Amino acid sequence: MRFSAVFATLPAAAMASISPANPLKRLARVLGYAGLRLVGNVFKPIKNPEDLRGKVWLYVVSANNYDALDFIRQARPDAVLLAGQAKNIGRYNGAVNRLSLRRKLLYYWQFPVALLGLLRTEGRRAWRFFDFIFYAIGYYEVYRRALRHYRPRAVIFSNDHNDDTRSLLLACRAEGVPTAYVQHASVSTSFPPLGFDLSLLEGQDALDKYRQCGPVHGRVELVGMPKADAFLGLKNTAPAVRRVGVASNVHDPLPALTEALRFLLQEFPDLSFTLRPHPSDPRDFGPLRRALPGLRWSDARQENVFAFLQNHDALIAADTSTHLEATLLNLVSIYYRFSANPLINDYYGYAAHGLVDEARDLPELRDLLLRYRAQKPAGHYRRAAYYNATLGTANEGRSQALALALLADWLH
């Protein structure tokens, strides 16, 4: 993924928080990582509140991962949530066990070898992202050692493409530890091939996309969206759109986002608009707040996405899995690209498969909102059936129970 054309053409603002374009700034980040994370970890021994030996590991790399797997921890006394040492899990930082990365420093002799090899195979992109290569070094060896020490019964993932999760997956294969995967958000055809012993996917869309990524390994079951169970019975029944949520992320340029919001506020003074920036977006939204005082705000670090959606009748966003969650709750969801990047166009295929309406410009966006301001379909949520296998079945709202039963059978 890091060497793909899509990743290489991310907007500068989006890339700045991930990997700076200036090589000196990238080097500074690498040195900071080496000092704070690698050397710093050496002087921070791990003291976990729970015993990790022989347990079912729920490996997380973000707060979203935590939310996606916590139902397993609540249902199984042998399950423990854990992350890599110093990994930022947001509001759950203090609620997860940690795997020591103190020995990661021992494997950095491999870095020049890896960099040279990738320069041969990937060319300039290996140099552009040498910081990512640096971060990834040592995970595999450290995690193999941890698996031999703790001998977990199985490892369950909710992310399949970060460097540390891929390393742990490969380490599990090498050590003979069973692996399972619970999908936590929509996937794309840029993801690695599905490589777990058991994969619990949300719907046919995810399986079709993974088949395009490469050979599908292991058993696959379609279980719907476990994290949405508690909310599927709370579908929006408003007959018309009055409250509109706008979800943004670092891929959406602030000038274009500001222009669209200003247009909407002027065109629809009778509607309320709420902006919800992605929780990882580091940009300063102060000027936007001052420029548009009539705009409401949602803090994604404090407000659950489903709680946010429950307060709205429609959603406007570019490439985000929030479209799916909105449609499941019977909100009208409109795909509008704030970015002009041609490689990030309907990234998840929502518009192509009819999950959302697409507005190609601001007049089209206005026309769609005018239509739904007059009348919102009562059964709009049925559009999501391709993405959520339990929708409209006896198992609708029971995805957690279905997933737990399949995991129990697999572990047995």
Pairwise CA distance, residues 304 & 320, whole Å: 15
164 plus 238 within the same structural domain? no
User: CA nearest 247: which of 364, 144, 172, 327?
Assistant: 327
The CATH number for 102's domain is 3.40.50
Q: What is the pTM of this model?
A: 0.86
Whether residue 333 lies inside any domain: the answer is yes
Distance CA 247, CA 273 (A): 11
Within this chain, do residues 142 and 286 fall inside the same structural domain, yes or no?
Answer: no
Picking from 126, 153, 185, the residue at the C-terminal end of a domain is 185
Give the tens place of pLDDT for each residue, 318-351: 999 899 999 999 999 999 999 776 667 888 889 9
- Residue 323 · residue 346 · CB < 8 Å: no
Residue 370 pLDDT grade (very low, low, confident, very high; cuts 50, 70, 90)? very high
Strands 357-359 and 198-201, bridge-based pairing: unpaired
- Helix 139-150 × helix 163-175 angle, to 10°: 50
Whether residues 150 and 239 fall in one domain: no
For residue 192, tell me if it sits in a domain: no
**Same-domain pairing of 181 and 235:** no
Residue 341 confidence (pLDDT): 67
User: Could you tell me the pLDDT band of residue 33, with boundaries at 50, 70 and 90?
Assistant: confident
Q: Are residues 179 and 252 in the same domain?
A: no
215 belongs to a structural domain: no
Which structural domain range is residue 52 located in? Answer: 5-185
142 and 258 share one domain: no
Does the pLDDT of residue 240 top 70, yes or no? Answer: yes
Region 344-368: mean pLDDT is 92
How many independent structural domains does the chain possess?
A: 2
pLDDT tens per residue across span 183-199: 988 888 889 999 999 99
Number of neighbouring beta carbons within 10 Å of residue 47: 7
Using a 10 angstrom Cβ sphere, with 0-12 exposed, 13-18 middle and 19 or more buried, the burial of residue 111 is: middle
Residues 178 and 305 in one domain: no
Q: What strand order describes the sheet that includes 56-59?
A: 97-99, 79-84, 56-59, 154-157, 179-182, 198-201, 219-222
Taking CA atoms, 13 is separated from 50, 186, 345, in Å, by 40, 23, 18
